[in-house]
Structure 1
């Protein structure tokens, strides 16, 4: 009897512990779930927020579309204005080019007329103020010529011409040759290349179209001079007459049109 009591006493705590665990398990399993009412409120809130966003996006989209349309129209207008301005500028440039060309042609025509008129005036009145050459210089074609009676060496003659922005006479064209022949020049230095000898003296004058070259020892060279229609070579240290040439200045139209001397007192 006593053994049964002891066994039952020993078994009871363990059994009691097991029952407690089982009760706890049943309690956890049978815990009530979260109420569906809370989830419904959350869903409604999110839906409401989405609707508000959609409602707000409508006016924003309308404003964006209106702004985009207005700016596009403004950009198109500016583009049209730009193209119109470019067209106007191109037209103005073409007009100015045409006007410039007309002015240039007119200027050339006036210059040619003034030159012809000045030649006629100078023919009737030698030394007329319209002449584009300095005093004592002869005007022929587009050049001015000076024939001096001063005798100098070839190098001194070249220096004298250079000091007047001119050079020794050179005959490069047949028209110039005819002019030189008409002047009947004798013993005038020419702007020919000095030589080391005086061979071929008496050669035809047309060969004097060669350009002048300065030599290091000019005193030992031979230089050419004109005698009527021929060229002769003599030592460059000899003294002969001076013949210079240079380009004529353009004829001033006002000097042709003015009949009175502008320096004369009124």
Structure 2
């Protein structure tokens, strides 16, 4: 009988403790901590994820490094190719410039030889096809000269020369002086600037360098102006510009054509 009472008391005591715990939960007292097993799993998952991220970053870094190294190698090769090409282009340009210089020198030499040969042919045949001057014009060095047998005023003579795209004779160097003296000219207008005062004659040999050779427009000439002319081969006189004299026109000669010098005509007109 007493054993049954003891059992009932114990059972009643356990149920009262359960009610006491439930009352604590209802009034807001913290429940006992959750099991530790679930938190452990989450920590392991996060650790594994971080490890995978680190491994992935390492792999990506290695791939980037290898790619960068490979591309830098390609860039270096391209740079070497570029430098080599630039070097070759520079050498080729220098070579071409040297060739062009040699060609110019050869061309100049051929031109000089053709001019000398043509001049020898011209001396034998004044109207040779290689002559760089128009027909009935004389050739000396780089100039062409035409003697006029018509008497005219200085102004009209100057206009006649202009119609030939030429000027009245100007003697500015010793070679031209000797050439003109060899023509034994008398009463030929010179391309001297008209003067307002008449002066005595001058010796051409002594005065040709210091003479006032024409450099300005003389369209306003009047009866009071005096113009120079060559007389007795080696003298310069001045007279009224409205007087009548012969004239000598001069102009620049064309370059001698090499082919016209080398290709000579046969006597019967055949090439």
- TM normalised by structure 1 equals 0.83
1:218: which partner in 2? 221
Counterparts of residues 156-235 of structure 1 (less than 5 Å): 156-198=156-198, 200-205=199-204, 206=208, 207-208=210-211, 210-215=213-218, 217-220=220-223, 221-227=225-231, 228-235=233-240
Give secondary structure in 2 for the equivalent of 1:69: helix
The alignment covers a number of residue pairs equal to: 242
Decide which moves more: 87-96 or 66-75.
Answer: 66-75
1:14: which partner in 2? none
Give secondary structure in 1 for the equivalent of 2:128: coil
Q: CA deviation at 1:104?
A: 0.4
Q: Deviations over 1:21-43 (max 9, x none)?
A: xx869964553235433432221
Q: Deviations over 1:155-199 (max 9, x none)?
A: 11111111212111001011111111111111111111111121x
Q: Distance in 1 between matches of 2:219 and 2:137?
A: 31
Unaligned runs of 5+ in 1: 1-22
Give secondary structure in 2 for the equivalent of 1:231: strand
2:11: which partner in 1? none
1:90: which partner in 2? 90
Aligned pair partner of 2:251 in 221, 224, 246 = 246
2:58: which partner in 1? 58
Distance verdict in 2 for CA 1:31–1:171, change over 3 Å: same
Q: CA deviation at 1:88?
A: 0.8
Whether the 8 Å contact between 1:171 and 1:209 is mirrored in structure 2 is no
Counterparts of residues 40-189 of structure 1 (less than 5 Å): 40-189=40-189
Q: Deviations over 1:60-101 (max 9, x none)?
A: 233222211221111111111111110111011000100000
Q: Runs of 4+ in structure 1 displaced over 4 angstroms?
A: 23-30
Q: Distance in 2 between matches of 1:113 and 1:39?
A: 109
Whether the 8 Å contact between 1:224 and 1:231 is mirrored in structure 2 is yes
Q: Distance in 1 between matches of 2:195 and 2:104?
A: 46
Q: Distance in 1 between matches of 2:188 and 2:167?
A: 13
Q: Distance in 2 between matches of 1:142 and 1:28?
A: 127
Q: Distance in 1 between matches of 2:121 and 2:219?
A: 46
Whether the 8 Å contact between 1:146 and 1:243 is mirrored in structure 2 is yes
Q: Distance in 1 between matches of 2:155 and 2:180?
A: 22
Whether the 8 Å contact between 1:153 and 1:238 is mirrored in structure 2 is yes
1:259: which partner in 2? 264
- TM normalised by structure 2 equals 0.82
